[in-house]
Amino acid sequence: MSYGIKSYVIRAGRMSVAQRRSYETLGPDFSVPFAEGLLDFNSVFGSHNPVTLEIGFGMGIATAEIAEENPDKNYLGVEVHKPGIGRLLWEIEKRGLTNIRIIEYDAVEVLGKMIPPSSLAAFHIFFPDPWPKKRHHKRRLITRPFTETLVEKLLPGGYVYMVTDWAEYGEWALAELSGTPGLRNPYDGFAPPQAWRPQTKFERKGLDKHHEVRELFFLKEKGE
């Protein structure tokens, strides 16, 4: 499945010595190669625990913290930024985590070709690129029909949790998710902060610039 426009750009970034070492030595153990075939999560993780897919985990520190706090859940991170992948692999090793796997590829293609229908417990989408210029709005990830793909991949009762520090994108995403069949907002508009989500360095920088954080939490209807 492809919508013809990528929602990201691969920005230049140097890998530290530790990130490169982790990328090269740990990657084979915790990475899942992109392939045009549906994943068997039980084989990928070696357990039947529920799977959360995170789109764009950045440097991966929050991902590692959440996974460490929830050893009974599995986390599949999709990212294209090599320094971030290296950092998450370093965190995996430091914390002794076994419940994270990584796919280094375009998340839209991963969802379309690798993720079975009704297989995920949740989506985490923290601080996606807001594409603030109006001519770039078509590149935004949280837009229909992509949001309909999220519904298709979720188990009934599963959730989509998005956080942005770009207020206008938050309004946009609220409208798009609210208009997506099969999703229900348990809150009156934006969600309150979820206490279990760690605050990221990126988020703190945004708050220092007086950005307004918007949280969105939608459930897949159990009848879907």
**What's the longest Cα–Cα distance across the chain?**
49
Distance CA 171, CA 190 (A): 9
Establish whether 79 is an annotated binding residue: yes
> Is 129 marked active-site?
yes
Asked whether residue 106 is marked as a ligand-binding residue, the answer is: yes
Is 54 labelled a binding residue?
A: yes
- Pick left, alpha or beta for residue 157 (phi over 0 → left; psi -120 to 50 → alpha; otherwise beta): left
Does the annotation flag 129 for ligand binding?
yes
Residue in the block written with tokens 């209807």: 221
Cβ burial of 151 (10 Å; 0-12, 13-18, 19+) is buried
Q: Flag whether 201 is marked binding.
A: yes
133 is annotated as contributing to ligand binding: yes
The answer to whether 68 is a known ligand-binding residue is no
> Which of the following is catalytic: 29, 40, 72, 129?
129
Annotated ligand binding at 45? The verdict is no
Polymer length in residues for the chain: 224
Positions of E strands within the chain: 51-55, 74-78, 100-103, 120-126, 154-164, 183-184, 214-220
User: Which residues are tagged catalytic?
Assistant: 129
**Positions at the binding site for substrate:** 133, 165, 200-203
**Positions at the binding site for S-adenosyl-L-methionine:** 54, 79, 106, 129
**Positions at the binding site:** 54, 79, 106, 129, 133, 165, 200-203
